[in-house]
A and B are shown apart, each in its own frame.
Chain A
Amino acid sequence: GQNIDQPTEMTATEGAIVQINCTYQTSGFNGLFWYQQHAGEAPTFLSYNVLDGLEEKGRFSSFLSRSKGYSYLLLKELQMKDSASYLCAVRAAGNKLTFGGGTRVLVKP
């Protein structure tokens, strides 16, 4: 089976940086995804990692260490619109996708 853990909630100030950690245990690994979900809306894709290292995409970066079963999503220059839930998801062999419970990020002025 698969187990994915991420913090439930984080608070940060506008303009700051926040790092959301995700740890996972999986039988077979075929990639890790991060999604953003605003309240009442569908998730939207942010990033994908399959190899170790950092992937940067504008203000968002995602890091993966397969040996440690660890990833993080880094949000820089936080804006009010970044207040949302951030979902970590792992794709196992066979393309089954398992999501973590999500981290709700609250950005304060």
Chain B
Amino acid sequence: DIQLTQSPSSLSASVGDRVTITCRASQSINTYLNWYQQKPGKAPNLLIYVASTLQSGVPPRFSGSGSGTDFTLTISSLQPEDFAIYYCQQNNMTPWTFGQGTKVEIK
């Protein structure tokens, strides 16, 4: 299985901060990498697919980059509604796998 390791596992940030989350794959996955946001008690919500394509309706403060084994999710200016857990997910090879999640908390 392809392992995805996110860092950090959690972070504290203030409204307006720039936040970067990284996801490292155990082998090259080209750009077969997606990002999801999950709020408490809710299903995950797709933010970015194919490493850098913003899902329709997602604010442009979210962006993704990377290819191969190293990927980043950036929130350019953190908003109150962005406090959540973020997961990366690979679709290069089944079984599809997720990172362990990064919890973004209020500082």
**Are the chains A and B members of one assembly?**
no
